[in-house]
Structure formats: structure tokens, C-alpha cells
Structure 1
């Protein structure tokens, strides 16, 4: 039977998955035919990663069914059986850097010789045979840390195929590759297709979908929207499926005054680069201005924000109100006038066991009493002001932040960013994982705080966040590729984020 008549290599039907109160996937459906490269696309938060977790056995679905070649998926704990059916090559390396290519290929299943002892010679020989069989031009003796991104991906694919899997998920495989390396990778994928390997290709760079994939599935808002042959889905229809009808919050900041070209520059970036993520960015933010930064997960936008806040090493120059900020030093950024809200409040935003007051005033602890001592009354007084200003629903300044809802916890993180009275706010995903009312409150605070007192750089995947901005710049591949004034067209912005229009498509 050909690929269209045989049972799908993998089929997911009605997959639903929740993480606590968050619905990560409500209606996940996917059917991938044998020998094809099938695209899975959608905006961040659409449910793609959750589906991949279910397809690889890392997440147990709350509802729905996964079948491989028409048969039910293995039991959740049977990792060996899962590896025989599916493999995933992630954007982040899964090889062990300190080991050789051969040792990585046979990690946990090293060939043995006489008396059951490990056999380095047999390990090297079988690794060389495996690499040759799948046409991976890499020495088995090479240390994994010395692999290029392209080589690492091919080694991981070869390792997956050696376990028996003929269905491989590629998660943003081209995000860190140059054009020539992308072409070579695509040539290898086509060769592997001819040998019976099936791929699920996840990418934010839509032109690649039209180049390498035969069919595409679109997810939006945790649901399956459409599956269609790539040749039958125009670029406009694909973007429309990804974003749906234009919809948003109450238009926060719709009446923002225009910012004068003569207004003071509170933030200036000159040739700012972050190794491996950002090439060179020149950008400025004026007092009274909110500048949005949009881009895919691999665009470098988050790493740029982290570099401004002193969390990453960088090249180039960052100035706040004309003063140079030392690179890679959080205290220097804080003293220099940068207020920072991180992208994941649960990981980087707050300490759950500490109180609202302790979390909100963490960056100004040295100003809450004489000689660096913290006076509880002073601290709680500052916290009460923040609670009132940001409408934090809490039992009081002494309540642990871990007991608050997501929206109120995020308001505490915002309060901390504002506590030092910064010249510029650097905000990453400021409304992630909060309800509509909290979104409006948080964006309202950004609007109010930047009308005259300071500026803001707002980095977000959420179109509703970007609507409050006076202008939005788009990053692709570590560089700024476009700028849009307030009132931008949603389809045009998303198309630029996803790379449509590049390479002639």
C-alpha cells in the first residue's frame, strides 16, 4: 500500500491536556502519512509543544488517543517502546557534550565484548557503520561539544533511527542554521524520506514549510484548525488560520499622545549582540514611548532583553539617559535605571515562599532603612502603595506570593520592576498566563507609567500586548528586519514575524 492508503505513521485524535487550571490542548488532532514531511505550525501557545509531549510519551493526555501505524501507543512508562516508534530532535542539544559522537549514539546501550565488558573498539566500529548507513559525515571519535548545530542534528537523527524509529519530530531545526546549512539539511531530509523516514516539521519560518513539507496542520488557541496539502494553502490562508479573526482586549492606550522626535532617549542600543542569538541591534526608546519587539522564539528578542538587564554577556553599547551600562552585570543595569520584568514569573519572577512585600521590594532593599537594614514598617508601607497602585488582590503585604493567582503574582513582579523608579522598563511577556482582566490591568500600568515619566521596551509574542506600543520592531534571526507604527496590520506583522516575503515567497 502507498502512504495515502496505509494507516498513518502517527495519528492523534481529540487530544486534551491541562496543567492545573491552564488548558494547554483542548482538541489536538494530527495525522501524518508514511514517507511525508508534515508541518505543524501555530503561534506560541497554540498547543504544539504539548502535542509533541504527548506524541513522545512525555505527557499523558487527559483525553483522546494516539496510534502508531494503526496500533495504540505504548504504555506511558515503556520508554523503550516509545523510542522504537518516535524520536524528537529538539532545538536545544540533547547530546552529552563531554562524550564522543560514538558514546552519544550508544548512550545507555554500549556494545559489550567478552565477559560482558564494555568494548570501546566495538563501540567505535558500530558507530562508524551507523553514521555511514545514514550518510552522516562525522567522525565517531569527535567530541560532541565540537559538533556544529547541523552535525549535531544529523547525529541525533541517526541515533533515533538506530533505535528503530522511522518517525522523527524536528523542533525548529533551522533556527540556528545559516542558509547553506539549511539547504544541506533539507537535502538530507529528502534523502531520508526516500528511505522511508517520516518527519513532523515544526517551524516558525513559514517559507520553509512551502519548500520541504507536503502537508501542513495548523493549531490555534490549543485547538486543531486545519490540515491541508501545502500546495493548496496560500500564504494568506495559512496566516489567517494561525491568527484567526482579529480580536483583542479593551484597547489600552488608544489615546496615547504622540512622542516628539525631540524627546529624550532613555534607552539607546548601538551594535548590541548576544553570542549565538543576536547579531547586531541598533534601537532607541524615547521618554514617553513604548517600543514593542516581536519575533519568533528563535528570533533573539528575549536574549536581547536579558542582555539589556545584565543577565547575558553582550557586545555593543547600552546607554540609559546617556549613561553607559556595563555588560553582564545586573546591579549595574539596576543602578543605571533599568527596570526588568522576566518572561517566566514562576522561574525568574518571584520567590513563592516570600511575602508580597519582600518580593516587591527586593530590588530596593538597601533603601528601606539605615545602613542597609530593612525596616519592616517602611517595607510594608512601600508594598501597600504598590498593592494599591497595581490593584493587587491580596490579603496584605505579608501574604506569600505563591498563594496568589497568576495575574496577581504577575502584578507583584511588575511592582518590583517599578520599585526602583527606573528610567526604562524592559518587559518580557508581561501578560503571559494571566486572565483578560489582569492583562488589561498590567497593560494599563505600562501605559500609565510611560506617558511621561519613562520609556518601555516590551518584548512579547502576544499581539494584544503589542497593540499598546507606539511602534513595533520585528526581529528575525537575531536582527531587526522591520518597524511598524501604531495601527499596524495584524496579517502583515505576523507574516513578517514568520518570514513570509523572504526568499521570494
Structure 2
């Protein structure tokens, strides 16, 4: 940005407090017209608070926000905010029961008269064509996949006239090809003059799609730099305040042990076919592949969420009844599901209640849970996983994403499982939380558990002793430790298998 150019977005010396907590402390950001600017930082750094201020949901206690050099609309002027800025959140705001067209023009379907449905669908098709969103305007939004819902939200945001879009963890639930399509769309929007703020915990994405990056740490602005001038290790150090080398895994490959988890000739419809898998005590086996590879379906079958059409699963020498999660857990298996919000925890229950669910039977007599024993168990887990909470009684819904995921991990490890299945454990969490979660997996493995780790993140898979790559429902290659990104991605995309 030239010295005379007016920034598209500028937050100056913004401070925001919630009671005794300072969420933003004299922080700011400057985003040039037409650039894609990353905002990164650990959970609790102040990113979400800044987003709420930049979208008019919160009023800052100090400082100011400018768009194109002009003061932001008043908090009460919702139409003014919609014309200025839009946010595509990680959790979709699309209403599943409405059609695509209805979602696009929600609360503005018509003027004073009745709704002209034919005209509404026609306007929706024009808007979708304008921004290259290939979905039927009359289709129910609930039938769309994650990628289509995100593109629908972007099109809806732009339809208000906003030229500044905030993308909050847009890739967290997308596979590799869908991420590439999203990035292609983002580059096209940038060429049309759209300014974007990109929030992601996947730092490699920052380097691929952004021109500048701003780092927040502990509610304050730390640095703003062009991404081309900022080495990866320096970026991590700015986010954490520590040297990135502190997070390298020191675990060595195991010598071999008893088989604790195995699958033989597993087949489930078109999701995967004839899969064999063996996991030994002290071993971490990765599962990699695209979203359509079958890796998640396979992992969910191992824990009993699906019953395979054919084949067997064995846990510690026992064959749990297919499709029976409770039987798999009784056999000694721990599980971290793909979606913590839907499957990982009960939001209204406390940290201690969620974390101790698998061991409730051991925390009292005659079917009654001892509050003292439950709290003591939860406090140990909080310490071991460094869960940032006001105490064991805090509801999980009030925790940050990274700390909520730590509660899910604590629950999976509560009964000291001898086999562990973990799906995308670091999705949507910050650098430090990632290290804590992966460290917990390594610690369980060092205690003798055998682990299956499914992840879309290559960095997660580096702790694995070997990685099984799936492509179109089959295991196409086993890759030993020491692979390069290019090697693994080539196999995942179907060009490097055996």
C-alpha cells in the first residue's frame, strides 16, 4: 500500500474489556484495499473480539474503526454494517430448511407486496452465476455440502454490496480439492477488488493465499508484515512468544508390540473396500487422503459408529459387535470424533462432567457419582492437558475451541485406553493447543496405547510412525516416517501410489 492510499479497513488503538478480562488491549489492524490479509494468533489472542467489533456486534471501549477512511456505522445501523462488511463463520449461518434462493434473500424477498417466487429464484440464479456458485437456486440449503454452503454465504455477503469479507476458519471442514477451489475463488474475488481478512490456524494457508499477516498475542498487536518477508518459524514465534523448535516431537519409533487394534477386509458401501489395518502397542498409524478417500468412514467404523458391510474389527483380541460404540469402548478403545460440537461434548455440562463420562462408574458406589472424586479426576485432566478454564464446573460451551477440544481429548483418555482413534484433533485450534493435543496423543502412545490418527493436516501426521494413504476407498500406499510434503500429497491426489 502506498503512503497516500487510504486503507480499506483500519482499527486504531482498540480496547475491549469484559468485566475484569481485557480482550483487546490497544490493538489494531490496517488492511489495504483489495488485499487478502491474514489475522493469526492463539486462542484467546483477541481475534474473535476484533471480528465482533469489525462487524458491528460489539462496541469498542476505546479506539476507533474506519472503513475507507470513514468512521464505522453506529452499532444500531445494521443495514449500514451489512453494506460495509460481512463475515463467513466457521459454523454456518445458512438455514437448512430454506432453499438456496430464500437464504440468499432472507428478509428481503420482496417489497411491500407478496413474494414473487419465480422472480426470487431468477434473481438468485443471476447472483450465483455472477460469483460462480454452481448450485440450484431451488435446492434445499440443508442438502448442500460444506463447500457449497460457504460459497453461498460469500455470495450472500457480496449481494448486500459489502466489499470487505472476513473469512473465519473457512477451510476447517474442507478437504484438499475443496480448499484449492476456495482459494481460486478468493483470488478471483481479489481481482474484482474485494478486500478479505483471512483467519486460520493453518499457517501454510496464510502463505498460499495472503499478501500480509497480522499477529495478535495476549490481546495485543504483535506485528504486521508482508508474508513474503516473514519466515515460518518467526511467525510461529510471534504467535507463541517462544521458539518454534520447542514444539518438535521428540518421540522415537517403537520397537513393536502386541496388536491392540486391527481390521480385516473391511468394506462399507462405496466409502471404502477391503481395508486391512494393524496397529501395535506404542505405535501411531496415520490415515491420510482427501475428503472422499474413505479415511473418516474407516476410522468411525473402527469405533463402532458404522457397521461394516463385511469384514471384522478386533480390539485387544475382542471383536466388538459391529456398530456398537459402547462395546468398542468396553474393549479398551478411546475416541476423539471429527466434529467436537456435534459428537464431542455436551455443551451445557461442565468440564468435569464431560471429561469423566467414560469413568463415571468408577467415581462412586451403587450407581451414584461422588462429586469429590469426579472433581479430583477432572482437576488432574485439566492439569495434564493445560485446559484453560475458570474451574471444573465451567460449562464446556463457554470454553475456547482449543480448550473444548482438550476436554474431548481428556474424555477419550480418561479410561486409559489401550487403543485410540483420533479424527482431525487439531481442526480450528491454535498452535499451542495443537501441540498440547498432539502431545497428549504421543504421551498415551508412550504409555503403551496404539493409535490411529486421521488428519487433513500434514503437520499432525509427522508424529506418526507410518501413514496409510487412502484414495477412492482403498489403501494405496504405506508411507514410513520421514516423508516429504510433496511425496505424501502426490499419493493423496492419486499420482504417487503403488
Q: Note whether the superposition's TM-score is higher than 0.5.
A: yes
CA distance in 2, matches of 1:418, 1:133: 49
Return closer, same or farther for 1:211/1:289 CA change in 2, 3 Å cut-off: closer
Q: TM-score, normalised on structure 1?
A: 0.64
Q: CA contact under 8 A between 1:42 and 1:218: conserved in structure 2?
A: yes
Return closer, same or farther for 1:484/1:339 CA change in 2, 3 Å cut-off: same
Q: Over residues 77-116 of structure 1, what are the superposed CA-to-partner deviations in whole Å (9 max), with x where a residue is unaligned?
A: 4332221111123455433233233212210111136xx3
> Which residue of the partner structure matches residue 216 of structure 1?
212
Return closer, same or farther for 1:475/1:24 CA change in 2, 3 Å cut-off: farther
Q: CA contact under 8 A between 1:219 and 1:242: conserved in structure 2?
A: no
Return closer, same or farther for 1:353/1:106 CA change in 2, 3 Å cut-off: closer
> Which residue of the partner structure matches residue 93 of structure 2?
94
Deviates more, 1:359-368 or 1:103-112: 359-368
> Which residue of the partner structure matches residue 80 of structure 1?
79
Mark the runs of 5 or more structure 2 residues left unpaired by the alignment: 385-390, 494-498
> Which residue of the partner structure matches residue 402 of structure 1?
393
CA distance in 1, matches of 2:314, 2:119: 58
Return closer, same or farther for 1:272/1:248 CA change in 2, 3 Å cut-off: farther
Higher CA-based Rg? 1
CA distance in 1, matches of 2:123, 2:60: 37
The Cα shift of 1:120 comes to: 2.3
CA distance in 1, matches of 2:263, 2:14: 45
Q: How do 1:349-388 and structure 2 match up within 5 A?
A: 362-364=357-359, 373-374=366-367, 386=377
> Which residue of the partner structure matches residue 50 of structure 2?
51
Q: 1:176 aligns with which of 170, 174, 177?
A: 174
Mark the runs of 5 or more structure 1 residues left unpaired by the alignment: 394-399
Q: CA contact under 8 A between 2:260 and 2:280: conserved in structure 1?
A: yes
> Which residue of the partner structure matches residue 157 of structure 1?
154
Q: CA contact under 8 A between 1:306 and 1:312: conserved in structure 2?
A: yes
> Which residue of the partner structure matches residue 39 of structure 1?
37
> Which residue of the partner structure matches residue 29 of structure 1?
28
Q: CA contact under 8 A between 1:392 and 1:408: conserved in structure 2?
A: no
Q: Does 1:335 align with 2:330?
A: yes
CA distance in 2, matches of 1:309, 1:147: 27
Return closer, same or farther for 1:17/1:99 CA change in 2, 3 Å cut-off: same
Return closer, same or farther for 1:51/1:111 CA change in 2, 3 Å cut-off: same
Q: 1:197 aligns with which of 181, 194, 197?
A: 194
> Which residue of the partner structure matches residue 120 of structure 1?
117
> Which residue of the partner structure matches residue 264 of structure 1?
258
Q: What's the secondary structure of 1:176's corresponding residue?
A: coil
CA distance in 2, matches of 1:300, 1:67: 47
> Which residue of the partner structure matches residue 9 of structure 1?
8
CA distance in 1, matches of 2:489, 2:63: 30
CA distance in 2, matches of 1:412, 1:207: 27
Q: What's the secondary structure of 1:96's corresponding residue?
A: coil
The Cα shift of 1:412 comes to: 9.2
Return closer, same or farther for 1:347/1:121 CA change in 2, 3 Å cut-off: closer
Deviates more, 1:188-197 or 1:346-355: 346-355
Q: CA contact under 8 A between 1:111 and 1:122: conserved in structure 2?
A: no
> Which residue of the partner structure matches residue 396 of structure 1?
none
